[in-house]
Amino acid sequence: MTAAEQSSIAKRTRLLAEAPAFRPVAMQLLKLVRSSSQSLTEIVTLLRSDAVLTGEVLRLANSPLFATRCEIKNVLQALAFLGLDRINAMVLTTVIRGLVDGRRGSFTHSCWRHNLATGLICQRLSAAACLPQERCYVAGLIHDIGRLALLRVFPEYEQAMIQAESGGDDLLARERELFDVDHAEAGRWLLSQWGCPLELQNVAAWHENPQNTVSCDRPLICLVHAASQLADLMAMSVFPSIPRADLPEIVDWLPAKAGEHVLDTFPEMVEWVETKVNEIELSLT
């Protein structure tokens, strides 16, 4: 084994060891949502097994974000009022927010807001793209999980990427040069190691270059790619100074109906996404 291969293995091992583990309850819930034999009792029991996560979900369920008419006091009520798909999305939002290391400052916060905005845009465009709403939200929310993990594990990542951005470098190539893996592959690998659905692994792997994928998940990957670029246009970018694609170029990645929706409603969509991102952030603090 060459020194380069040993270095690559060591960095991947460190990434898996030091990145916060994906909460087992969230992983099992992801699988249950996709199961044809869902049991309400099983779902309630699963959620109750993680008291901290349950408390965070109930706090979010009772926030102005959902404007329920009465207080939601337990998991069963939350499922009845909000439904399994929405509860799953709430759990994933809480889990991904937990990966954000507040000590890293504004750059990490920008990554989180970008992921959240991408998820919300995917959710909004899902019907026009003929894709399931909450699965689109989760895919957008989780697409840059590799970047969040690299930020968390390698303190030098932030400064290296800022320097690469200012120098006009290819960021994916710079990631591979410094860390033997780019954030897309890091995300795919981590989601694979955690046992996440293949659909989410493919989104993480190909969201930067959807033209290269032959996956059956290509429509979802293209939606996430477009949503990520739209989030950049909405000033929710990880790297503000990188040149942006223009709106017509972005909507080319979308089905015609979804593209028309973006072009017709973009100013209102910007306001909607900003409001939702701020509401979710307030609910999680």
Give the pLDDT score at 4. 63
Which pLDDT tens digit goes with each residue over 217-273?
999 999 999 999 999 999 999 887 777 889 999 999 999 999 999 999 999 999 999
Which pLDDT tens digit goes with each residue over 130-184?
999 989 999 999 999 999 999 888 888 888 888 888 877 888 999 999 888 999 9
Q: Is the model's pLDDT at 12 over the cut of 80?
A: no
233 burial type by CB count under 10 A (0-12 exposed, 13-18 middle, 19+ buried) = middle
Of the listed ranges 32-36, 206-210, 251-255, the one predicted with least confidence: 32-36
Q: What is the mean pLDDT of the chain?
A: 87
Structure tokens at 103: 């000590």
Of the listed ranges 54-58, 111-115, 262-266, the one predicted with least confidence: 54-58
What does the pLDDT average to over 43-66? Answer: 83
What does the pLDDT average to over 35-41? Answer: 76
What are the CA-CA distances from residue 75 to residues 42, 61, 91, 250 (Å)? 12, 10, 12, 40
Give the pLDDT score at 201. 95
Give the Cα separation of 147 and 27 in Å (integer).
20
Closest CA to 26 of 75, 87, 108, 70: 87
Q: Is the model's pLDDT at 107 over the cut of 90?
A: no
Domains of the chain: 21-98 (no CATH), 104-283 (1.10.3210.10)
Written as one letter, the residue type at 30 is: L
Q: Is the model's pLDDT at 7 over the cut of 70?
A: no
